[in-house]
Structure 1
Amino acid sequence: MKRWISLGIFFVFSVPAAGGDLLDLYRQAKTSDPAWLAAQAGYQAGIEKAPQGRALLLPTLGLSASRSGSDQQVTIPSGSNIYHYSTDTYAIQLTQPLYSKQNSASYAQGLAGASQSEFELELARQDLILRASQAYFDVLAAQDALDFVISEKESISKQLSLAKRNFAVGNATLVDVHEAQARYDIAAAQQITAANFLEVKKEALRMLTGNEPGTLARLDTKLELQAPEPADMNQWVETSVNANQRIKSQREAVEIARQEVEKSRGGHLPTLDLVASRAYSDAGGSVLGFAIESTTNQIGLQFQMPLYQGGGISSKVRESVAQLEVASQRLDQTRRQVAQQVRESYLAVINGVARVQALEQARISNERALESTVIGYERGVRTGVDVLNAQRELFRTRLSLSQARYDYLISRLFLKAAAGTLQEQDLEGINRLLAHKSSG
């Protein structure tokens, strides 16, 4: 007899004739994802901290102008006089800080803040790669699940029809018919659930890109499994110490806090400025009875020394020292968290390779088991329920294998992100694993 039951359930990954691949979706996300666009704006704002800090060390130049009216009554022994006149004054002043501990600390803070913004932007870029990849493969996994359910439903339908025919001629029991009908009804319900789940995942991708996902390139049936390189977990952890963007950003946060301590302590120290000015005054009158026009040039040093400010400066120093300790502890916490993430991601890749290999072998074994069960059913030594059970196990294995393949690819990206070495080239490498057809 024909083995159509077995042949009907074999699943083949479909390849879209046209549609976006992973890189296409990532590029769309770069132009529309609000989180990434906000990160870019935050970077533009953050890098301005450097010139703002530098400005405190550079000279300032100010121009002032005023016009005033005077009404003076002067009384002398010989009588009194009233004078009405106006005065125009113009002045320009240059101030060059020569020594200010607070300004120097603010400049160092500005440099650290700008560097921190660069690290935060790189961290956001890596996060976008991960989110785009996760959303993309979530859609593919949901599509695979739906395809598997549809294939299983079709296979059960054929088994149900066969059970009914065999029952009609006395070659099957009513149990076979009822079991096949129950399995078919369950598969129909699962198809509805899988279709809804696919729409949910498409919506997540739509939120990321701002566009309809369309037809996505599917993962090729041949997947080359690669262990992490280098194959040493500790080396990955060591790499993360100097490459991870979160650690780098937190280091700059510690530097900002350290300079805040210096700035607070600078409140006890004197400041010294070079001041140069030129002023012009044109008075339309005076108590002398005639107009006065004058030009004054000045240059000198201005020294200021705070003596007592109610204990506010000392309190600020204590506060900033405590904030420095907070930043230092957060840096240590970040290092530990990153090391943990690296180890978990490394193990996820290793286990992912082993799991995919094991499920590949399980798929082959289940296919053989199904073929044997079908033969036994044809010979009357196995029941229709046995065939349905074998079919179910095969589809479950294929579904687990599909998810394991996607999890393996995502874990590779997460490992590099945890180590701080994730680049767009890594995304291109994953994208080459997707199956494509020429549009022509």
Structure 2
Amino acid sequence: MSALAVALLCVGCCLPAAARAEDLLEIYDLARRNDPVLAMARAVQGGQTEVARQARAALLPQWSAQYAELRYQADGSREHQLTHSLSQVLLDLGKLRTWDAAQSSASAEEARVQAAQADLCARVATAYFGVLTAQASLTTTQALEAAYRQQVDQAQARFDAKLSAAQDVEQARAYYELARVSTAQAQETLADARQALAQITGQMPGTLRTLAPDLPMAPPDPADAQAWVSQALQDNPGLRAGALDLTASEQRVAAAGAAHWPTLSMGLDGERRAGTAVAAPDGRYTTTVGLRLTIPLFAGGAIESQKRQAVYQREHQKDDLEAARRTVIRSTQGYYQAVLSSLSQMRTTRAAVDAAEKALASTRSGLELGARSMTDLLLAIQTQSNARSAWEQARHRHVLAKLLLQQAAGRLGEPQLAAVNLLLLPGTPDADPLP
């Protein structure tokens, strides 16, 4: 076993073991209950739902009652008045179109909640694998530091035995000190990655389960970028919300234009007057039923201004939707290419790890025979470390790229996270994930 592998194993054994590691679904469940971004989206949806109910209420019967008690100073007489008014809109295109717009806006907010849920899945996965990547980097740098420390000790021993020059000792020590700096930076990166995950879940994560060494190497299904783009344009919840907002804007334009049209309503009014100030015949209950036709004539130009405002808002919404559509097309194609690129990187970095392992073993043997220098050995150890780090990053990048591609296509949800969760190793993280 190579010195770096031994160091990795030692570092892993020295890490505090957790009784049970958290997986991706557990982190997601915690985030779903505590994430403020998703909670805000749900609150906005609830508010818009109430706006739609209020718009509908304006088309339903309106009933009010008033009671008044009067006392006249001149003769001390009293009068009691009880009135009520019941009205029902029969024809008001403006209120009807306003209700339609409010319903469309409520549907748009519902789509945004779906988009927020998918975004939460993506944010949780990104932060989760961000912690794993930072943890893998820290483990590698700690192992590299331990391996260089071992080389310092060996070089010192060889120097004391007059088998090597002092230059070998100083060179090994220089690599060791640089590795210590890298370890400190990796610790800082890991702390920030854990804070990023805590920002979503509301609490610091414990030990996280890591990816299994062997991942499926299948390309995206379907293996056609344009097919993914077509699905994204159809199913992306953010685009669907934008389309519904545009529909709502068009309905508000119609509502503003309908302000010129007459409205028709029916009313039922009742009144009863009693008291010493009221003559006996006037104490009876009177009822009035009538139709009210209202024809707008002039409002100081406000109606035309409101219509122009609605048109401007519609054009803004149309441009915003087109911008979002182009963004989705670009991001979907980019994520598709990222999946393919990460597959290639997984193959090449794994081959690089195997080659670096063999090169390190060969360099170590060459050093013992005097055919290789201490510089060659230190560089071989560093190359192996870099190869392992690149391999870990490629694996994490591949999983995230597939999830982000599914998000763009409107497919990302808990089932997709559950599929990724099956790729995680059980128990605590493995210090040496390569078989």
Change (3 A) 1:218 1:17: farther
Moved more, 191-200 or 14-23: 14-23
Aligned residues: 424
Partner of 2:403: 413
Change (3 A) 1:23 1:7: closer
Letter in 2 for 1:240: A
Provide the C-alpha distance between the structure 2 equivalents of 1:111 and 1:203, rounded to a whole number of angstroms.
Answer: 39
Moved more, 6-15 or 425-434: 6-15
Aligned-partner SS, 2:284 = strand
Partner of 1:313: 303
Stretches of structure 1 lacking an aligned partner (at least 5 in a row): 72-81
Aligned-partner SS, 2:395 = helix
Letter in 1 for 2:37: A
Question: 1:376 and 2:366 equivalent?
Answer: yes
Residue among 3, 21, 27 paired with 1:5: 3
Question: 1:215 and 2:217 equivalent?
Answer: no
Partner of 1:153: 145
Change (3 A) 1:6 1:93: closer
Letter in 1 for 2:96: S
Q: CA deviation at 1:281?
A: 1.3
Partner of 1:187: 179
Provide the C-alpha distance between the structure 2 equivalents of 1:53 and 1:263, rounded to a whole number of angstroms.
Answer: 12
Provide the C-alpha distance between the structure 2 equivalents of 1:379 and 1:276, rounded to a whole number of angstroms.
Answer: 110
Aligned-partner SS, 1:225 = coil
1:186-244 per-position Cα deviation (integer Å, ceiling 9, x unaligned): 11121122112211211222222222311111111222223111111111111111211
Provide the C-alpha distance between the structure 2 equivalents of 1:278 and 1:38, rounded to a whole number of angstroms.
Answer: 46
Q: CA deviation at 1:304?
A: 0.5
Provide the C-alpha distance between the structure 2 equivalents of 1:11 and 1:345, rounded to a whole number of angstroms.
Answer: 35
Q: Which of structures 1 and 2 has the bigger CA Rg? A: 1
Residue among 24, 27, 33 paired with 2:26: 24
Q: CA deviation at 1:39?
A: 2.0
Partner of 1:78: none
Letter in 2 for 1:427: L
Provide the C-alpha distance between the structure 1 equivalents of 2:394 and 2:164, rounded to a whole number of angstroms.
Answer: 38
Q: CA deviation at 1:171?
A: 2.3
Aligned-partner SS, 2:425 = coil
Percent identity over the alignment is: 28
Q: CA deviation at 1:277?
A: 2.0
Partner of 1:170: 162
Change (3 A) 1:12 1:328: farther
Residue among 33, 36, 41 paired with 2:35: 33
1:341-374 per-position Cα deviation (integer Å, ceiling 9, x unaligned): 1111111111111111111111111111111111
Q: Is the 8 A contact 1:113 1:252 kept in 2?
A: yes
Matches within 5 A, 1:10-409: 17-70=19-72, 83-286=75-278, 292-409=282-399
TM-score normalised by L of structure 2:
0.93
TM-score normalised by L of structure 1:
0.92
Provide the C-alpha distance between the structure 2 equivalents of 1:86 and 1:305, rounded to a whole number of angstroms.
Answer: 40
Provide the C-alpha distance between the structure 2 equivalents of 1:88 and 1:316, rounded to a whole number of angstroms.
Answer: 44
Provide the C-alpha distance between the structure 1 equivalents of 2:188 and 2:94, rounded to a whole number of angstroms.
Answer: 60
Alignment RMSD: 2.0
Provide the C-alpha distance between the structure 2 equivalents of 1:358 and 1:349, rounded to a whole number of angstroms.
Answer: 14
Provide the C-alpha distance between the structure 2 equivalents of 1:196 and 1:28, rounded to a whole number of angstroms.
Answer: 25
1:397-422 per-position Cα deviation (integer Å, ceiling 9, x unaligned): 11111111111111111111111111
Q: CA deviation at 1:12?
A: 10
1:41-81 per-position Cα deviation (integer Å, ceiling 9, x unaligned): 2222222233222212211111111122345xxxxxxxxxx
Q: Is the 8 A contact 1:88 1:282 kept in 2?
A: yes
Provide the C-alpha distance between the structure 1 equivalents of 2:222 and 2:144, rounded to a whole number of angstroms.
Answer: 41
Q: CA deviation at 1:40?
A: 2.1
Letter in 1 for 2:166: L
